[in-house]
Structure 1
């Protein structure tokens, strides 16, 4: 498989525009993203080089519910979760989405796409990309969706710097990847390593979460799979919401802390 990179983690919110100020209180820089015309959604964004968090909301929820959503798509996941605020899915970036689609089909996954999409920015310019969705029919934790941007990484980086999107985070802070609540971290990591062609890093015990955590290395944001050792944060998330992403991790922060924001944990380490 062509090498994948972390692209973005999606936090679904009722009002993404209000979340920009909340993030500023945590020394996180975010900006208005724009509108997905004809799809009923809009967003705000927070970039850490080319890895970013997308804060997604709806401007027409009926349009979203009544539209035919691709199978295994992020919007299907949001609708199935009844538009609950919180982390929903994440995207991995590729330079050859057709090869990923072919290999996923060969591995037995149900695949939808690639689908061409675009977003109009606040300045009126348009950015475009293609998305690929895939998964098992009985999966609990949804696989990432795959994105291929129509512009290459370096052009996108320069453009985002010029627009004031990249380069305004607190000095030294980096996005370090998402954490997922899963029933069996070892088996989940093994399965995702197969589907995404990733390798394992050292596992660890997280006392705050009361969980065993397996890690897969992904450029731009490692993937942390946490399974409960007993009662605690991860077990509660599994009981309430099933297997989902629930935490965004950051390193290089000014202090160690964890902040709960709209059903999502923002975990900062020095």
Structure 2
């Protein structure tokens, strides 16, 4: 199977606030729209077709009344008690039915594909299908799989025409990676590499995080697994407070460098 990074879900109390905070950093971001009858809405920041989704809840009662599949994004958000921070990542395919069969053969729990849609601020509707996968022995939630109802070329053209994809004032930005705090970086990376068919990248120590890291190569945004060295540092803090999860996103091409804490997540701006 062939996959590409699609998006990082950053759960926030108010997506409009998140959009404004990103704009203040020189990062283009827009209102996304409403997931009708599902209780959620969002804001978006695109880096070509890789993007960050600022997901918020407008009706928690509606969210919790709806049946949600095991390993779904909403299950993750509810189990996190709607706490701000990075929730999950999605990876993109053009063969979602075959992907469901592929993951079942890998011994993973598979739910879906499920058709979904969102109404944009201008009233138009965008639609896609989602596939949820998981493994009972894994604390870190696996990516969910998305297939859009338009091709990449059609989506890129449409999003650019709508001003959703647009230049970033801070520079020619791209989503470089998403990092996950885990107890054992090498073991977790090996599992994800096997299940997702990804090639291993660099192994290194990040002194600023006080963590040992292992990367996996994924078009559109690499994955980095970080386990703590000792008892201090951001990775250790995340594990102690919230367990294994995504916690840091790297954005390359910025004129301003360094880590920015934004609504429970960390964004690292790189050269």
Q: TM-score scaled by structure 2?
A: 0.98
| Larger mean Cα displacement after TM superposition, 165-174 or 10-19 | 165-174
For 1:79 and 1:167, locate their aligned partners in 2 and report how far apart those are by CA, in whole Å: 33
Query: Structure 1: which 4+ aligned runs deviate by more than 4 Å?
Result: none
Tell me, in whole angstroms, the C-alpha distance in 1 between the residues paired with 2:93 and 2:146: 6
- Report the CA distance between 1:151 and its aligned residue: 0.4
Alpha-carbon RMSD: 0.8
Paired residues for 1:74-93 under 5 Å:
74-93=73-92
**Does the 8 Å CA contact 2:89/2:143 hold for their aligned counterparts?**
yes
1:13: Cα distance to partner? Answer: 0.5
What are the residue-to-residue correspondences of 1:1-270 with 2, within 5 Å? 1=1, 3-169=2-168, 170-230=170-230, 231-270=232-271
Mapped partners of 1:224, 1:149: distance in 2: 25
Structure 2: runs of 5+ lacking an equivalent: none
Q: What is the distance in 1 between the residues matched to 2:29 and 2:82?
A: 22
Moved more, 164-173 or 62-71: 164-173
Where 1:165 maps in the other structure, the secondary structure is coil
1:98-134 CA-partner distances (Å, limit 9, x unpaired): 1110011011111100000001111111100000001
CA distance in structure 1 between the partners assigned to 2:179 and 2:203 by the alignment: 13
1:9-28 CA-partner distances (Å, limit 9, x unpaired)? 00000100111111112111
Deviates more, 1:228-237 or 1:41-50: 228-237
SS at match of 2:100: helix
* Secondary structure of the corresponding residue to residue 267 of structure 2: strand
Structure 1 position 167, deviation (Å): 2.1
Displacement of 1:138 in angstroms is 2.9
**Normalised by the size of structure 1, how large is the TM-score?**
0.98
> Unaligned stretches of 5+ in structure 1?
none
State the distance in 1 between where 2:203 and 2:166 align.
Answer: 31
Contact map agreement 2:179 2:225 (CA 8 A) in 1: yes
Deviations 1:29-49 (A, max 9, x none): 100000000000000000000
TM superposition shift of 1:168? 2.3
Q: Secondary structure at the match of 1:82?
A: coil
Q: Is 170-179 or 12-21 further displaced after alignment?
A: 170-179
Structure 1 residue 83, shift from structure 2 partner: 0.5
Name the SS of the counterpart of 2:83 in structure 1.
coil
Distance in 2 of aligned mates of 1:56 and 1:41: 7
Given that residues 171 and 255 in structure 2 are in contact (C-alpha distance below 8 angstroms), is that contact kept between their aligned partners in structure 1? no
CA distance in 2, matches of 1:72, 1:193: 19
- State the Cα distance separating 1:204 from its structure 2 match: 1.3
Q: What is the CA–CA distance in structure 2 between the aligned matches of 1:47 and 1:241, rounded to whole Å?
A: 27
User: Aligned pairs, how many?
Assistant: 269
Q: Give the secondary-structure state (helix, strand or coil) at the position aligned to 2:63.
A: helix
